[in-house]
Amino acid sequence: MMEKFKEWYEKRHDYAQEWKNKTGGKVVGYFCTYVPEEILYAAGVLPVRILGSHEPQDVTEPHIFGMYCPFCRDCLAQGLKGKYDYLDGIMIAQSCLHIRQTYTSWKIHKPVDFSYYLPMPNNVQSKRSLPYLKGELEVFKKAVEEWTGKTITDDDLNKGIEIMNTSRALTRKLYDLRKESNPPLSGLEAMYAVVASQMVDKKDYNETLQELLEKLPRRQLENSSKIRLMILGSEDDDTEFVEMVESLGAIFVVDDHCTGSRYFWNEVSSNGNPLEAIAARYVERVPCPSKDWPERTRIEHIKKLAQDWKVQGAVVIQQKFCDPHELDIPAIIKSLKEEGIPAQFLEFDVTVPIGQFKTRVEAFLEMLGEEDLY
Ligand code: SF4
């Protein structure tokens, strides 16, 4: 079953194409986890997160500034190369300017039937953000109704909320198993699961994960004395890097990435007006650093994760030129150090220099060993 998540991750395009053939439904590619997938599920549309391929490319240079983050350029390259030609629509909810440029450029150069920019407020700490977002979700709902020809009722919205919340609760259970002294799954396996959840129909994901959760507690990984690491920072689905680190006697037990825990951490309340409840979830969720101001709330969350998952060291990664994370990382590293958690900073590009990073991670793990923190 663990292999299923890897297969979905690697064959994401085949999955989406087969889903379309099977259901006759529409697929929307989205660029940021602030997109309210609940409304798309309510309309019977499959939301698929657009991610890069980690392969060198030379097609984005004329369309996106070279000093925008490599993740944004990699995502745009997928569109320009036709890897997502099956999409019926694309959308983004405002987060950082880099990924918005990917959306805008994609819209111009690979026009699709439906494209939507959702003005998700950046100042989520303002009291006005909730009523503002609720209003924007009403406008978005109408746009989806016009596009699909389907009226979205409150009952549909509640079903959309339920499928998303179930997925969140199940993934949270998967992460809870990683608190154990000998976790029954590796960080790589967890990454495949949570990233696959962003690409496949949540119905398929929920069924598979539910079945897996019944069996996982009985699973024993070979080595129980691994160094417990946390990984956090910019977008990250770099499985090759995670695999390399875990081959050195460490295990990632938790993360704070938009492709990881930030994606599923908060649920939508099932009480009251569904659109208001959805808006509240996206305003109150663990924020992307582009929205975590004037107060920095994410640091306390990260420290709590580190405590609860008994983390011994942190790998802090930043996509090159990623401004939002670059601003947060020094404060995060300082706070972790004050908690007695050393951190290793690494800058990621479309491809990462595995050999060079291996040497740095080995030195970091050796230092953690010498400090006898485990
Ligand atoms: S937050 Fe950083 S990693 Fe994410 S899209 Fe923006 S610049 Fe890229």
Q: Give the residue extent of every domain in the chain.
A: 158-370
Q: Which ranges in 149-238 belong to alpha helices (H)?
A: 154-177, 187-196, 202-215
- Residue 2: which pLDDT band, with cuts at 50, 70 and 90? confident
Residue whose C-alpha is closest to residue 139's, from 277, 41, 280, 279: 279
- Residue 352: which pLDDT band, with cuts at 50, 70 and 90? confident
- Residue 81: which pLDDT band, with cuts at 50, 70 and 90? very high
Distance 232 CA to ligand 1 centre (A): 13
Three-state DSSP state, 268: coil
Distance 170 CA to ligand 1 centre (A): 27
Q: At what angle do helices 187-196 and 2-10 cross, to 10 degrees?
A: 60
Nearest atom (ligand 1) to Cα of 102: 5
- Residue 225: which pLDDT band, with cuts at 50, 70 and 90? confident
Question: Above 90 in pLDDT, residue 369?
Answer: no
Is the C-beta atom of 234 inside 6 A of ligand 1? yes
Report percent pLDDT > 70 for the chain: 98
Name the residue of 32, 64, 99 whose CB sits within 8 Å of the most ligand 1 atoms, as the mutation to test its pocket: 99
Question: Above 60 in pLDDT, residue 252?
Answer: yes
Question: Above 50 in pLDDT, residue 374?
Answer: no
Distance 72 CA to ligand 1 centre (A): 7
If you average pLDDT over residues 270-299, what whole number do you get? Answer: 96
The pLDDT score that the predictor gives to residue 373 is 47
If you average pLDDT over residues 54-61, what whole number do you get? Answer: 92
The pLDDT score that the predictor gives to residue 372 is 54
Q: How far is CA 132 from CA 42, 57, 146, 268, in A?
A: 21, 39, 22, 17
Distance 184 CA to ligand 1 centre (A): 31
Work out the number of other CB atoms within 10 angstroms of the CB of residue 117. Answer: 15
Is the C-beta atom of 32 inside 6 A of ligand 1? no
Structure tokens at 372: 């006898």
If you average pLDDT over residues 68-86, what whole number do you get? Answer: 96
If you average pLDDT over residues 39-54, what whole number do you get? Answer: 97
Name the residue of 51, 72, 102 whose CB sits within 8 Å of the most ligand 1 atoms, as the mutation to test its pocket: 72
Is the C-beta atom of 235 inside 6 A of ligand 1? yes
Distance 289 CA to ligand 1 centre (A): 9
If you average pLDDT over residues 126-153, what whole number do you get? Answer: 98
- The alpha carbon torsion through 340, 346, 350, 352 (nearest 10 deg) reads -110
Nearest atom (ligand 1) to Cα of 319: 3
Give 258-275 pLDDT, tens digit per residue: 999 999 999 999 888 999
Is the Cα dihedral 287, 133, 265, 79 positive or negative? negative
If you average pLDDT over residues 341-345, what whole number do you get? Answer: 97
If you average pLDDT over residues 110-131, what whole number do you get? Answer: 97
Is the C-beta atom of 103 inside 6 A of ligand 1? no
Q: Which ranges in the chain belong to alpha helices (H)?
A: 2-10, 12-23, 37-42, 70-80, 97-109, 129-148, 154-177, 187-196, 202-215, 239-246, 261-264, 274-284, 298-308, 323-338, 354-370
The pLDDT score that the predictor gives to residue 226 is 92
Residue-averaged pLDDT of the chain: 96
Domain spanning 158-370 has what CATH number? 3.40.50.11900
- Residue 88: which pLDDT band, with cuts at 50, 70 and 90? very high
| For ligand 1, atom 2: residue with the closest CA | 322
Q: Is 113 left (phi over 0), alpha (psi -120 to 50) or beta?
A: alpha
Cα 143 to its chain centre, rounded Å, is 25
Predicted TM-score of the model (pTM): 0.96
Q: Per residue in 131-150, is it b (16+ CB within 10 Å) or e — as a string?
A: ebbbebbeebbeebeebbee
